[in-house]
Each structure stands twice: as structure tokens, then as C-alpha cells.
Chain A
Amino acid sequence: MYGVFLVAGLALGAIYALSGVGLVVLYRSTGVLNIAYGAIGAMGAMLAWQLEQMQYPEPVAWVAALLAATLLSLAYGRLVAPYLSYREPVVKAVATLGFALMILGTANYFWVEAPRRLYLFTDAMGFEVLDVRITGTRALVLIATLATTFGIAIFLKHTRIGLLMQALANKRELSSVLGVPVIRIETYAWLISGVLAGFTGLMFGDLVRPNPGALTFLVIPAIAAAIVGRLESLPMTLAGGLIIGVVESMSTLIKPIAPYRSIAPFVVAAILLLWLQRNRKLTFSGHD
């Protein structure tokens, strides 16, 4: 019994982790916590669904989803984000809510609520672990999460672009005075996170449901995973996402709290963060 919920929890956790990683990657390079991340992914997923309805082959749908999300991400990164670059991180973050509302409104306008289902070829595959069937899509999410976590961690650490991204996230103005081509580097970051958002949206569209509202606000539990990684550490974000998933799934077994299990991301994030901060002294101005 426990095993079943453990496996299901890991599968769920991978969902949180994957979007958490996407959030952290962008935040680390641009200082923007993108609340529109879910909405961008949702747009990709809806487009993929639409193309499937129009009988286009599946690869076309995949490409369209990734492309649409990347374009949206780039559009915001190039056209809007630079104007807000000198603002504090919280303002930069809440500004993306404006973008999220725009995307959500547009998506809802074109795709009025109706029964929908996104099919991916990975749905047909699957294997069993501890009596739980893991579909190809879920396995893909888990693998992709692991791959992006470590791939991007290595990329940021060992490449020049990674270094410049870190510099930018730290102090944008000083970096530009030091000669860092701000716009170009930020464009890379928005590009990478756009691709990730598209991929995440596609996966969520399949696993959750292709519904713009539901996908848009999934960003909030995803932020919980990112918080566990202090918006900084990709492996910790991964761990955070998985722990959150397992806790949420396992609390199904405790009757009185089972109906409230969706609260797990927030409780786990708050507790883990407080615990990770236990040795910190009072903060000094300018440091988070």
C-alpha cells in the first residue's frame, strides 16, 4: 500500500520539480521569477491540442507547443522585462502576473471551457512499479527533470554564458558596465526557460488536463518546489519537488487530512525553508 503511494508521489513530484527547475533557471539568470510560466506552458499545450484536433501529426503539435512557448517567453523577455530590470525582484515577479493574465485571458477566449484531452504517443507506453503503472509520459517527465536539472546545472557552472548569466542575475547594471552583453545573455535565458515552459506545459496538458486556468495556476505549487531550492539550487529544487509530491501522495493515507492534501506543497516548502535557514542571523539590508 505504502509503496503504491510512494511511487505515485514520485510521479507527481516530478511534475512540481520540472516546473520548479524551469522557474529557477530563469530566476538565476535574469532575476525574474516568472509567474507567467504556467500560462506560457498552457498556451503551448492548448496549441498542441488544437493541432491534434486538426489532424496534424503529433510531432507538429510538439514543435508548435515548444515554439509558441518560446516565442511568448522571448516576447516578454525582450519587450517587457528590460523596462523593469532596475526594479526590485518582487516587483519583477508580480509584473509577470500581468503577462499571465493576458495569456490566460487570450487562451480562455479562444478555447472556451469544453471537454478536451491531449494525447501524446508516450501515453501508450508504460511499465509497472510496485503495482502502480507508470506511463511513458510520466517516465519522460521524470527523466527530463533529472536531465534538465543536471544538464543545466553543469551548463551554468562550466560555460561562459552560464557565468555571465550568474553575473547578470547578481547585478545587472554593474555587469553591463563590465561589458556583459546584457540583452543577448538575457535572451538566452528567456529562450531556455521558454522551451522548458513549453515542454512542461505539454506534459501537464497531458497529465493534468489541457485547461488554461488549471495549468496557469499550477505555477504556485511549482514555486513551492523552487523555494526549497532557494531559487538557486537546481538539485535542491528537484529534491523539493519530489518530497512535496511524496508527502502529498502519502497524506492520502491519513484520513482526516486526506481531503486537504493539496496543501502539502506550501507546508513542506515553508517548513523546509525555515529549517534550511535555521542558522541564519537576522538579515542585513540588500541581502535576501
Chain B
Amino acid sequence: MLLSVAALILIVPSLLDALYLRVFISSVIFTIAATGTAVLYARLGLVSLAQVALVGVGGWVTLRMWHATGLPFEVNMLAGAIISGVVGMLIGLPALRMRGLFLALITLMGAAGFQILVTGTQFPNGGDGVLGIAVTSIFMPRPLLGESDEAMLRYVCVVAVLCFLLVEFNRRTRPGRAWALIRKSEACAMASGVNVAFYKAWGFALAGFIAGIAGALLAGTLGVLDATTFPASESILLFALTVVGGAYHWLGLVLTGLLFRAAPAVLNDIGVNGHLAYVIFGAGLLHALITAPTGIAGQILDGLTQLAKRRAGR
């Protein structure tokens, strides 16, 4: 499994042209972000509609760190991820008392607030002080291992795999079991000795951390960021697509990333009018939500098991 993924990561980037290199880099980055959404949704039964905003937080911190210190990208990325994890935890604090739609909406308020703040402050581009904006944007350089688009695509893929593994590790150990109990019922979890508040906060922190990584990678790819990338509506869309792709399996998250970034790019590339693309995209979203309740990945996997069964039956 891991081997074939490694082979894919090695080969595919060298086959793509410049446009699709860029498109796939973005797709993988948002696959990573969706991984965070999925931790909350699939493992804890909670919904965060602030994930794209947290990606923004991670990107902001990464840029700020680089302009301030000039440290290697990976260090800044870690800082971005940690801060974004903390912010994620703060946004998730109300989750200790709420769940369901309410909680989702509270996180949406967080995302909307971020949108306004960051429109006003913009992302660091080399200006003085904490909030300073430079006359001419200074671009943060790519990470050493990702200087060309081709290398960058490999770089984000490797980070994505690491993020999957991080989540998988959490899922298979203590936090994973605690989350499973909480999802079933908080009362039951408490009666089982689970510190519900802690493990919920842990889930939000992990989701935020992963979003931060995605943000850092986005900043690393583009060198500068812009507030228009992180409106609240994008956070809603990312969650919707996580459901459409399938939150319970990594394949679903890969699909989420592709739907979020590659699908619009393909429509744009083949010259579909941007407004009509919205219509197609919206209709596709509705269609997928209706016809694939377990997500597209769920359907694919279901189909495969059925097929395997039928083969075995014969």
C-alpha cells in the first residue's frame, strides 16, 4: 500500500504540465485540510465550519514567522500548525457545551470573523511590526525540497501522507477510543472515565494543527497569501465536500481535495464560464449529497466489496 503510494508520488508529478502541477498542489493541500475536518466529523461526530479559516491562520503565522526570523520553512510550518491548533481549540471551546448544528454555526461565526480581520490586516508580506504591510511584497521562498512545482507536489504529498498517519495513529490509540465513546454518547464516555472536555479539545487542536500545516504549505507554494482565499463560505464548502468525498476513508479525503480545487480548475481550463461553473458545481454537490450518503469513497469501497463478494460467490 505505502509502496504503491510512494511510487505514485514519485512518478505522477513528472507527467503533469505546469497548470496541473499547480492544481494538484492545491488539491493535496486541501486534502490535508479536509483530513482535519474529517477527524472531527468522522471520529467525534462534531462539525467545524472554520477549517479554511484555520488554514488561513496557519498560513498567516508561517509567513509572519519567516519574515521575522528567516528560519527554515519546516520550522515556520510547525509554528503555524501549533498556533492554528491553539486557535482551533479556542474556536472549539464552545463545543464543550454544544454539538450538532449549533456548534457548527459557532465555528462558522469564527470563520466569518477571521475573514473580516484578515481582510483588514492582510497576510504578512515583509512589513515592519506584527501587522505591517510592505510596499512591495516579499515572497517567502519555497521549502528547500520543493523549489520547483514538481518537487513541491511531491513535498505536499509526503506531508499529506504524514498527516494521514498522524490521524491514524491518534485513531488507533487512546484518543481514538475516547473519541469513539464520545461520539456514541458523552454520558457514556464520562461514565467510562474519559475526560470528555480534554479529548474534545484534543480533537479540535489536532484538526487545527493539520489545518495549520495546510496553510503553511499554501503559503510555501505561493510565497504570499491573500484574504480572498479564506472567506467563510469556503469553510462551509470544504465541509460539504468532505461529506461528499467521504470522511471515513483517506480515499474520500483525496476526492475532497480534488473536488475542492481540481474540479473547478478543469472547468476553468476547458473554458466553461465561471458563473456557469458555479451552477454545475452546486448541482453536483447536491447530487452527490443525495445519491452518496456515505460519500463517493464510501460508494466506491462498497462497490468493491460487493464485487469481491460476487467473485468469491462464483
- Where the two chains meet, the residues of A that have a C-beta atom closer than 8 Å to any C-beta of B are 33, 35, 80, 83-84, 87-91, 93-95, 97-106, 108-109, 217, 220-221, 223-224, 227, 230-231, 259-260, 262-263, 265-267, 269-270, 273-274, 277, 280-288
Main secondary structure on A side of the interface with B: helix
Asked if B101 and A104 make an inter-chain contact with CB atoms under 8 angstroms apart, the answer reads no
Residues A35 and B285 in contact in the complex (CB < 8 Å), given A220-B108, A277-B98, A282-B197: no
- Where the two chains meet, the residues of B that have a C-beta atom closer than 8 Å to any C-beta of A are 47, 49, 94, 96-106, 108-110, 112-113, 116-117, 120, 183-188, 190, 196-197, 231-233, 236-237, 239-240, 243, 273, 275-286, 289-290, 293
A93 to B286, CA, bound (A): 11
Asked if A99 and B108 make an inter-chain contact with CB atoms under 8 angstroms apart, the answer reads no
Residues A263 and B101 in contact in the complex (CB < 8 Å), given A91-B243, A98-B282, A102-B279: no
A87 to B96, CA, bound (A): 23
Contact of B94 among A267, A274, A285 (CB under 8 A): A274
Contact of B282 among A87, A101, A227, A288 (CB under 8 A): A101
Asked if B279 and A87 make an inter-chain contact with CB atoms under 8 angstroms apart, the answer reads no
Asked if B237 and A288 make an inter-chain contact with CB atoms under 8 angstroms apart, the answer reads no
Residues A101 and B285 in contact in the complex (CB < 8 Å), given A266-B110, A270-B109: yes
Residues A108 and B101 in contact in the complex (CB < 8 Å), given A80-B286, A83-B290, A90-B47: no
Q: What is the minimal beta-carbon distance from A188 to any residue of chain B, in angstroms?
A: 22
CB-CB under 8 A from B100, the residues of chain A are 88-90, 288
Asked if A280 and B187 make an inter-chain contact with CB atoms under 8 angstroms apart, the answer reads no
Residues A263 and B117 in contact in the complex (CB < 8 Å), given A273-B106, A285-B187: yes
**Contacts A105-B280, A109-B276, A285-B184 given; 11 further ones with Cβ under 8 A?**
A98-B286, A102-B278, A102-B282, A106-B279, A109-B279, A220-B108, A260-B116, A284-B185, A285-B185, A288-B100, A288-B103
Residues A273 and B290 in contact in the complex (CB < 8 Å), given A93-B101, A101-B281: no
CB-CB under 8 A from B236, the residues of chain A are 35, 94, 97
Asked if A95 and B285 make an inter-chain contact with CB atoms under 8 angstroms apart, the answer reads yes
Shortest Cβ distance from A278 into B: residue:
B97
A51 to B224, CA, bound (A): 44
Asked if B97 and A221 make an inter-chain contact with CB atoms under 8 angstroms apart, the answer reads no
CB-CB under 8 A from A231, the residues of chain B are 101-102
CB-CB under 8 A from A269, the residues of chain B are 106, 109
Shortest Cβ distance from A267 into B: residue:
B113
What are 9 A-B contacts defined by CB distance under 8 Å?
A: A94-B239, A97-B282, A98-B285, A103-B282, A108-B278, A260-B117, A263-B112, A263-B116, A270-B110
- Tell me which of B102, B231, B277 has the highest count of chain A C-beta atoms within 10 A of its own C-beta: B102
Asked if A91 and B97 make an inter-chain contact with CB atoms under 8 angstroms apart, the answer reads no
Asked if B289 and A288 make an inter-chain contact with CB atoms under 8 angstroms apart, the answer reads no
Asked if A105 and B282 make an inter-chain contact with CB atoms under 8 angstroms apart, the answer reads yes
A286 to B183, CA, bound (A): 10
A100 to B243, CA, bound (A): 18
CB-CB under 8 A from A286, the residues of chain B are 185
Contact of A270 among B94, B197, B284 (CB under 8 A): B94
Asked if B113 and A91 make an inter-chain contact with CB atoms under 8 angstroms apart, the answer reads no
A80 to B103, CA, bound (A): 25
Residues A260 and B120 in contact in the complex (CB < 8 Å), given A97-B233, A217-B233: yes
CB-CB under 8 A from A99, the residues of chain B are 282, 286
A1 to B94, CA, bound (A): 36
Asked if A84 and B289 make an inter-chain contact with CB atoms under 8 angstroms apart, the answer reads yes
Contact of B97 among A35, A89, A95, A277 (CB under 8 A): A277
Shortest Cβ distance from A111 into B: residue:
B275
- Tell me which of A97, A221, A262 has the highest count of chain B C-beta atoms within 10 A of its own C-beta: A97
CB-CB under 8 A from B184, the residues of chain A are 285
A47 to B104, CA, bound (A): 33
Residues A282 and B112 in contact in the complex (CB < 8 Å), given A270-B94, A273-B94: no
Q: What is the minimal beta-carbon distance from A251 to any residue of chain B, in angstroms?
A: 12
Asked if B290 and A80 make an inter-chain contact with CB atoms under 8 angstroms apart, the answer reads yes
A245 to B217, CA, bound (A): 38
Q: What is the minimal beta-carbon distance from A138 to any residue of chain B, in angstroms?
A: 24
Asked if B240 and A262 make an inter-chain contact with CB atoms under 8 angstroms apart, the answer reads no
Asked if A220 and B293 make an inter-chain contact with CB atoms under 8 angstroms apart, the answer reads no
Asked if A284 and B106 make an inter-chain contact with CB atoms under 8 angstroms apart, the answer reads no
- Tell me which of A83, A91, A280, A284 has the highest count of chain B C-beta atoms within 10 A of its own C-beta: A91
Q: What is the minimal beta-carbon distance from A63 to any residue of chain B, in angstroms?
A: 26
Asked if B97 and A33 make an inter-chain contact with CB atoms under 8 angstroms apart, the answer reads no
Contact of A100 among B110, B277, B282 (CB under 8 A): B282
Shortest Cβ distance from A101 into B: residue:
B282
A54 to B27, CA, bound (A): 45
- Tell me which of A89, A263, A286 has the highest count of chain B C-beta atoms within 10 A of its own C-beta: A263
CB-CB under 8 A from B101, the residues of chain A are 33, 89-90, 93, 231, 288
